[in-house]
Structure 1
Amino acid sequence: MADVLIALGGNIGEVRATFRKAIADICGMAQAALLARSSDYVTPPWGDEAQARFVNACIEIETSLDPHALLFTLHKIEKKFGRDRARETRWGPRTLDLDMIAYDDVSLDGPELTLPHPRLFERAFVLMPLVEIAPDRLIAGRSIKTALAGLSTEGIERLPDLG
């Protein structure tokens, strides 16, 4: 079984409800156990800044799927919630974005999948929820907590639990 970190994001529709359903789908379709789920955070847009703020969160799962099969499953779930990767604007608005951040200690650099996620250490909106669920985890030799300490968290706010 592999220990996998996945980042969730979105800024269209009822994002927090989408997260709840998408996490259930990830666990069901990837035959995964949910080990941890961060709080939801409202965050400024990254890349294309002329859009609504995002909601971001992270989960940790355990799955027997290999990285490519898991990526296929994550893309299928995104599509179910209305994402069309072929037609969207890069870093633009979306209903659901599922990014595989780390898969055990696997390193891959391919056209469809790079692990760990290549922009992880630039993105406080991913590191902040990750610190909540896996603060001491090392990814590519760096601790999540230390990586976050080097970035600005301005504009990132933890949302209250839905209950």
Structure 2
Amino acid sequence: MLALGSNLGDRLARLRAATRLLGAVVVSSVYETAPVGGPDQDDYLNAVVLVPAASPRDLLAAARSAEDAASRVRSVRWGPRTLDVDVIACGDLASDDPDILIPHPRAHMRAFVCVPWLDVDPDAVLPGHGRVEDLLAGLDVSGVRRTPWSLCG
């Protein structure tokens, strides 16, 4: 499962392009979300996509390739970005490889990941943390707003 985010340029077009590049087979609704952490910046568009089964390293390579195609620049941690693609989970797999931690170490704290994840998998479980629905019950969702836009278009 991959989480997508963008808050620079044509955010929706960037998420749509990433969805195609990543070969997404299931796509959540698009959410506009307040930024979390980092410097003052514009709101994000976020979504979650399910992609064909692959190894964590292959998923990370695909994520980086999509970010490169969107001219992602990594200058400020948690700063504005054209495209952010995070590997959130890979089935029940766990990895403590510093290059690709699975599940994502902050996914359980992020409403902008958990809300769209439930769109694509209402029974989702984040390994090591529990049911996503239960995690979401403890999160502030006030900064997460569903948009009328679709990534399939």
Q: Equivalent of 1:147, from 128, 135, 138?
A: 135
- TM-score (normalised: structure 1): 0.87
Q: Equivalent of 2:68, from 73, 79, 87?
A: 79
CA distance in structure 1 between the aligned counterparts of 2:60 and 2:66, rounded to whole angstroms = 10
Q: Equivalent of 1:129, from 103, 108, 116?
A: 116
Q: Equivalent of 1:47, from 15, 24, 37?
A: 37
Q: Supply the RMSD in Å over aligned alpha carbons.
A: 1.3
How many residue pairs end up in the alignment? Answer: 150
Contact 1:40 1:55 in 2 (8 A): yes
Contact 2:108 2:126 in 1 (8 A): no
Percent identity (aligned):
38
- TM-score (normalised: structure 2): 0.92
CA distance in structure 1 between the aligned counterparts of 2:116 and 2:139, rounded to whole angstroms = 14
1:19 and 2:15 aligned: yes
Q: Equivalent of 2:28, from 38, 41, 51?
A: 38
Instruction: Show structure 2 runs of 5+ residues with no match.
Output: none
Instruction: Show structure 1 runs of 5+ residues with no match.
Output: 28-33
Instruction: Report how far residue 35 of structure 1 moved.
Output: 3.2
Deviations 1:93-117 (A, max 9, x none): 0000000110111100112100000
CA distance in structure 1 between the aligned counterparts of 2:62 and 2:2, rounded to whole angstroms = 12
> Which structure has greater strand proportion?
1
CA distance in structure 2 between the aligned counterparts of 1:35 and 1:138, rounded to whole angstroms = 19
CA distance in structure 2 between the aligned counterparts of 1:52 and 1:127, rounded to whole angstroms = 21
CA distance in structure 1 between the aligned counterparts of 2:44 and 2:114, rounded to whole angstroms = 15
SS of the equivalent of 1:45 reads coil
